[in-house]
Amino acid sequence: MTDRRATRADSRAETIMRSTLELAREAGYAKLSVEAVAARAGVGKHTVYRRWPSKGVLFLDSLLSLHEPALEYADTGDITADLRRQIHAAVDLLGAPPWGPLYRALIGEAQHDPAVAAGLNERFIRPQAEKTVARIKAAQRRGQLAADLDLDLMMAILSGPLYFTLLITQEPLTHDYVDRVLHALFAGLAPRP
């Protein structure tokens, strides 16, 4: 009997999260409400609040659980090519609907809701950064990058232009833009003789 309840609860949670994303795409995050999600999912709003304490946390779970991004690194031995491939995949994911507008809304909510900020960092940003740092460390061991490279600074340099374009200028994120950023960076990141 417990397994059936757990299965029913999981199914209800998936329906709620799917409804959340549908409504967010239709009306935008700003107009999203727990009441509307509950009505679309066919549950009471207390059912939603029992699992998610706020609209922001519900949105975070919905975005990351129902559409888990697959941003994995290859290790071809060429750090520039591997970074390019991974960042192109991120640009393809975050630069266009449905992920792009929803991710921008999630980042906006994270500025006001500490639980959303912590969850976003823990479940998406930090894991992606750790994958990047691991790939950079492998390149350092092979002598492709300076041994004394500040890894935190490199992460800021790699991600900063992307987030600036995604959030501030809202210009299209393109592969060409990524290639120009990488080209500009690698002259300064190369090992010194």
Tens of pLDDT, residue by residue over 144-171, are 888 898 988 888 999 999 999 989 998 9
Residue 65 belongs to a domain: no
Q: In this structure, are 37 and 101 located in the same domain?
A: no
Distance CA 87, CA 83 (A): 6
CATH number, domain containing residue 10: 1.10.10.60
Q: How many CA atoms, within 13 angstroms, populate the side-chain half-sphere of residue 188? A: 9
Q: Taking a C-beta distance cutoff of 8 angstroms, is the pair 52, 58 a contact?
A: yes
pLDDT category at 15 given cuts 50, 70, 90 is: very high
Asked whether the bond before 98 is cis by omega within 30 degrees of 0, the reply is: yes
DSSP string, 52-68: -SSHHHHHHHHHHHHS-
Of 64, 59, 56, 58, the C-alpha closest to 114 is 56
- Do 115 and 169 lie in one domain? The reply is yes
Q: Is residue 63 part of a domain?
A: no
pLDDT of residue 113: 92
105 & 171 share domain: yes
- Mean pLDDT rounded to a whole number for the chain: 87
Does 83 share its domain with 24? no
My answer on whether 83 and 51 are in the same domain is no
Range of the domain at 35: 2-55
* Within-domain flag for 61: no
pLDDT at 9: 72
Q: Are residues 44 and 97 in the same domain?
A: no
pLDDT of 66 strictly over 60? no
- Amino acid 76: pLDDT: 92
Do 47 and 94 reside in the same domain of the chain? no
DSSP letters spanning 62-89:
HHHHHS---------S-HHHHHHHHHHH
Taking the mean position of all CA atoms in its chain, how far away is CA 168?
17
Domain shared by 41 and 113, yes or no = no
Among the residues of the chain, which ranges form H helices? 2-27, 34-41, 45-51, 55-66, 79-94, 99-110, 114-120, 126-141, 151-163, 175-189
| Tens digit of each residue's pLDDT (9 = 90 or more) over 100-136 | 888 888 999 999 999 999 999 998 899 889 989 999 9
Read off the pLDDT band of 70 (50, 70, 90). low
Same domain membership, residue 126 and residue 51: no
Are both 88 and 38 inside the same structural domain? no
Query: What domain count does the chain have?
Result: 2
Q: Are residues 99 and 137 in the same domain?
A: yes
Same domain, 129 and 172: yes
Tell me, what CATH number does 145's domain have? 1.10.357.10
Residue 114 in any domain: the answer is: yes
